[in-house]
Structure 1
Amino acid sequence: MRPHSGIRVTTLVLAGLAMTVVAWLVLRWMASGGSPVPDPGWIGAVAMLVLGAGLVLAGWRVRRVRDGRPDPAVTPLRAARTLVLGQAGALTGAVLVGWYAANALVLLPDGDVDSQRSRIWLFALHAVVALLLAVAGMVVQAWCRLRPRDDEDQPQA
């Protein structure tokens, strides 16, 4: 039996693309009705950075235990929760990349206006920070993966 491989990069790409398409359609519909594209707040970017840093810190502790260094605070349950949080962070980051990219794409036709250009760059910055959150989640998932034991490599008779 093959163990579960976790969240794949293709899953993240598909989730991000799906969110980009859906959000672009909804934002274009809202803009046609006169509603402006919402401004991204700096709090969102800071929150994603803090979440990513917390994930990496928790994953680093699990990785150290996996590699043989004792840490009584890291229990199997805590390691499993860290894995799930890493996967959730990866999916959340991918979906947020799609959201911020869709916002930037809606504003792109007005990119020659200085005020809109600055908003496009702000959405692009948020998309990069969301991508960092997704990468942090994937790294944590890899760190939480158990390595095969020597006796598992040999076929059973």
Structure 2
Amino acid sequence: MNAGQLTWKHALGVAAVVFVVAYAALAVWNAHGHAMPQNSWIAVGVVVVMAAMVLFAGNEIRIYLKGESTRPPSPQRSRSTLVAAQACILAGAAFAGWYAGTAAVDAGRMQTTTGPSSFLLAVVLIVVCVALVVSGLVVQWWCKLPEDDEDKKRRTPKGPPGEVV
């Protein structure tokens, strides 16, 4: 793993922390008679568009690194694509945790008139947020540079086995 590379474990950790905080806060909020925050179907579209945009940008890098394109992307664009992919991983995980918290609270309100529809929308939002995390992980993987001989030389120990260098 490269330094600075995010993994599914990072995303799961972020989602878990946000879920615990969101569930606790929303359960207390709802128990005091306040209305739950309303989710929107527009958010589903926004998240899907974000995932598609980062995949589109990452595909240019992937094509170049596979040797299918002779026109290299600019270093700024490559860096921006990697940063966007990592932002999708973290933001998608945080939003998935939030929506999981709302779904957990909504699961206890299924007998109300808005309970089932709110719960369904929260589940759909969880799914698209997980898809956003996956798209970020895929693009981050696409942006990984191949190892060169210098990288291998730096990792090879210079002394006999067992010697501390």
State the TM-score, normalizing by the size of structure 2: 0.86
Counterpart of 2:26 in structure 1 is: 27
Corresponding residue SS for 1:21: helix
Counterpart of 2:79 in structure 1 is: 80
Tell me if 1:51 matches 2:50. yes
Counterpart of 1:126 in structure 2 is: 125
RMSD across aligned C-alpha pairs, in angstroms?
1.8
**Equivalent residue pairs, number:** 155
Counterpart of 2:90 in structure 1 is: 91
CA offset at residue 91 of structure 1?
Answer: 0.5
The letter for the 2-side match of 1:78 is R
State the TM-score, normalizing by the size of structure 1: 0.90
CA offset at residue 149 of structure 1?
Answer: 2.0
Based on CA coordinates, which of the two structures has the bigger radius of gyration? Answer: 2
Deviations 1:125-157 (A, max 9, x none): 010001100100000100001011256445375
CA offset at residue 93 of structure 1?
Answer: 0.4
Counterpart of 1:100 in structure 2 is: 99
Tell me if 1:61 matches 2:60. yes
CA offset at residue 109 of structure 1?
Answer: 1.6
Unaligned ranges ≥5, structure 2: 159-165
The letter for the 2-side match of 1:67 is K
The letter for the 2-side match of 1:135 is V
What fraction of aligned residue pairs are identical, expressed as a percent?
A: 29
Unaligned ranges ≥5, structure 1: none
Instruction: Return 91-100 or 113-122, whichever deviates more.
Output: 113-122
Structure 2 CA distance for aligned equivalents of residues 99 and 85 of structure 1: 20
Structure 1 CA distance for aligned equivalents of residues 111 and 36 of structure 2: 16
Taking a change above 3 Å as real, the CA distance of residues 132 and 3 of structure 1, as seen in their structure-2 partners, is closer
